Each structure stands twice: as structure tokens, then as C-alpha cells.
Amino acid sequence: MRRKPAQVGIDELVEAAVAVAFDEGLRALSAATVAARADTTAKVVLHHRPDMSAFVAEVFQRIVGAELAEVKRVVLAHPAPPVQLSALLETLALPVRMDVDAVWLESWSLGRRNPALGAAVRAEEGAWHAFVAAVIRRGVRSEDFLPADPETVAHLLLAVIDGVNAYSLVGYHSEIDRMRLLTAVVRSELGVVRSVEPAERVAQG
């Protein structure tokens, strides 16, 4: 017998929905698919989250919020802005992040017709922008980077990151080629030669 509302917590439903999003995509999220993962009924899912459009946005934010928190821990473990920037690029380029990249890319499309998801995408992109701009701002202040507008460079860098991550999902260009694109941006905009070149990182495994 499938479990009743009192037997299923919202955290469990969110975890089930995250699993669906990773395995089948945000587009596959429905009361039925989440219920199947959580071993309950669609009625129970709708009891806890009656607005599925808002629930899709919530699941998206859970996924990308966790990613940002993890990247912040990795990047801020280093005190020097150039090393922080290098760690940021290296971390975001890891193939293991392709599942999150896929969620991000799908969210931009689905957000056109899901206002709640669209708002969530704008909010999370804004959080990413604020973080990247802060890393750049520290480097400009310490004179490790060229004098540049952190807000503008953050926009440019995130746009390139989104682009190369889209490339990676369909195997367009090699990982090294994609990293060279990112390296070219930070060299031209910030005067930074990354401390770990793509070929070296791949060789280190």
C-alpha cells in the first residue's frame, strides 16, 4: 500500500523530485513521477505541493543552490584571488557537473512558460553573478587583476561558462578546447594566466 500524506515528509518528496530531475530532466517532473520515486501517490504529492509549477522552481533552486554552496567552499578555501579564480573555473569545468549543467540549461527554456521557474532562474543566476563578481573585485583591489569592472566581467565569464557547459553536454569540442576558451577570457579581461593550464590538469588526473 502506498504511503499517506502523514507518512511522507516534504524533504523526502524534494529528494525524489531532485532524482527525477537528474535522471529524466525538469520537464519530467510531475505529481506522478515524484510519487513513483517516493513510493506514494500523486494525491500525496499534491497534498504537500499543490502547485507543480512552483514545485519545479523549488527543485531547481535546491539543485543549483547546493552547487553554488559547494563551489563557494572550494573557491574560498584559497586566500589569493588568482587561485580562487582558477579554482572556480576548474571546478565548474569538471565532467561530474554535467547533470547540474543539464538542469541549468533546461531551466532557461522551461522558464519561458513557467513564471515561478523563470523567477528562480533569475534569482540563482544573480547569486552566481554576485559571487563571481566578488572574486573579481578582490583581485582588482589587490592588483592581481587588471583594473576592470567586476560586474561586466562576471557577466561575460558566466555567459562563456554557460556556453562551454552547453558544448560539453553534446561533446562539442574537447574539454581542453573548452578550458582554453575560459582561459582566453580571463587573460584578455583580467590579465590573468591561470595557474593550472588545461593540459596540466588533465595530465594530473
Domain boundaries of the chain, sorted by first residue: 1-50, 56-204
Distance CA 65, CA 112 (A): 20
| Cα–Cα distance measured from residue 99 to residue 149, given in angstroms and rounded to the nearest whole number | 32
On the CB side of 146, CA atoms within 13 Å amount to 12
The single-letter DSSP state of residue 40 is: B
**Residue tagged 515524484 (cell numbers):** 34
Per-residue model confidence (pLDDT) at position 183: 86
- Give pLDDT tens digits for 115-149: 999 999 999 999 999 999 999 999 999 999 999 99
Average pLDDT value over all residues in the chain:
88
Confidence of residue 6 (pLDDT cuts 50, 70, 90): low
User: Confidence band (pLDDT; 50, 70, 90) for 170?
Assistant: confident
Tens of pLDDT, residues 46-86: 999 999 999 999 999 999 999 999 999 999 999 999 999 99
Mean pLDDT, range 1-14, rounded to an integer? 75
Q: Give the residue with greater pLDDT, 31 vs 184.
A: 31
Nearest Cα to Cα of residue 185 among 89, 92, 93: 89
In CATH, which of 3.90.25.10, 1.10.357.10, 1.10.8.100, 3.40.50.300 is domain 56-204? 1.10.357.10
Residue 12 parent element (H or E):
helix 10-24
Residue type, 25: G
How far is it, in rounded angstroms, from Cα 35 to Cα 44?
A: 8
Query: CA torsion 180→181→187→190, rounded to 10°?
Result: -140
56-204: same fold as 1-50?
A: no
Distance between CA atoms of residues 123 and 146, nearest Å? 29
Alpha helices in 25-174 (DSSP H): 31-38, 42-48, 52-75, 81-92, 98-110, 115-141, 150-169
Query: Domain 1-50 maps to which CATH number in 1.20.1250, 1.10.10, 2.60.40, 3.30.160?
Result: 1.10.10
Would you say residue 166 has pLDDT above 90? no
pLDDT digit string, tens, across residues 181-190: 888 889 999 9
Mean pLDDT of 33-53: 94
